[in-house]
Structure 1
């Protein structure tokens, strides 16, 4: 299950980052980078299988730190593009986000029974849950850009994904801290 999630997220990372850069979409780029962080979390979760509870807590903590870094980086990119950007291609935003949404719904269903499991697997489920929300937001942003031609919808969604990613990172870090406290 984690291997499939890793492969799907890695493929969507390449597709979304490439498309985001080509069409100038902060929201698509943000979602693509979030796919990279998910692929990383799944790889870390795979490495934690069969390891000690301490190792699993440490991998969840690492996941949280990576996600927090990603969120801060996304916000930085939004600020940069606010100053020097133009309207992205809304149809392309929707076209790349629909398959990303499908991938994330599949992965979320695969991981559903893990959301109450060990801390490193809960982190993977939280990452994927955030992706579904982000995909829907990017699709709506693309539609708004198509209808209005206003680039700020893309920037708002990019910033929203950044803030949401930070919130999810803090939830993972809190969960890992609580798990660490309960095992000592």
Structure 2
């Protein structure tokens, strides 16, 4: 049994190392893409690119938090996931409000820039999502990272569709519609993470109370 315990511990250590490595790669990708996409979004007047860029920034912060709590007890990972869920939810609400305000203005974004940047972002997020796919069924902290990457890839596909829509209609409405979709992904994704993190936090507290009662 001792040998099995040692083997399991070694396996867990290797898995933690892989998890950290993936997070570092994801963090670097998101920082670089935020810098590039926010500039392109402002220059092209695309609300969906700006929304997607802010999503990159939020994800970079979330990956940094995940790196900070990797290997910690479940209660700390749950708290970190709760913070991330709240951040993602707040981001979604912010994008929704700014999109509504933008709909009251005028102007048509540059569809060509939207298409090029959207494709680059899709390739970047697709690669990150593939690396994180194996962790999609983990705890709330791991699941939150997977949801972030999944939402990003879906958002990038939507940006490409928006670019085509802007070209086809000659209006900004496809761009605004996609920005609203990205906002919706943030709101629903954040709510999912919050629910799971609260459930895990309660489970951890219940286990702790049971252990204390047994000790008495």
- When normalised by structure 1's length, the TM-score is 0.97
Whose relative contact order is higher, 1 or 2, with alpha carbons under 8 Å and at least 6 apart? Answer: 1
Q: Which residue of 1 aligns with 2:86?
A: 65
| Count of paired positions | 184
Q: Which residue of 1 aligns with 2:208?
A: none
Note the residue ranges of structure 1 that are not aligned, 5 or more in a row. Answer: none
Rounded Cα–Cα distance in structure 1 between residues aligned with 2:183 and 2:139: 26
Rounded Cα–Cα distance in structure 1 between residues aligned with 2:109 and 2:181: 17
Structure 1 residues 4-19: aligned runs within 5 Å: 4-19=25-40
Q: Which residue of 1 aligns with 2:68?
A: 47
Q: String of CA shifts for 1:90-124, please: whole Å, max 9, x gaps.
A: 11101101111011111011111111123211100
Q: Is the 8 A contact 1:10 1:36 kept in 2?
A: yes
Q: Which residue of 2 aligns with 1:148?
A: 169
- When normalised by structure 2's length, the TM-score is 0.83
Rounded Cα–Cα distance in structure 2 between residues aligned with 1:85 and 1:58: 42
**Pick from 50, 53, 60: which aligns with 1:29?**
50
Per-residue deviation, 1:85: 3.4
- Large movers: runs of 4+ above 6 Å: none
Note the residue ranges of structure 2 that are not aligned, 5 or more in a row. Answer: 1-21, 206-216
Per-residue deviation, 1:25: 0.7
Q: RMSD in angstroms over aligned alpha carbons?
A: 0.9
Are 1:120 and 2:141 counterparts?
yes
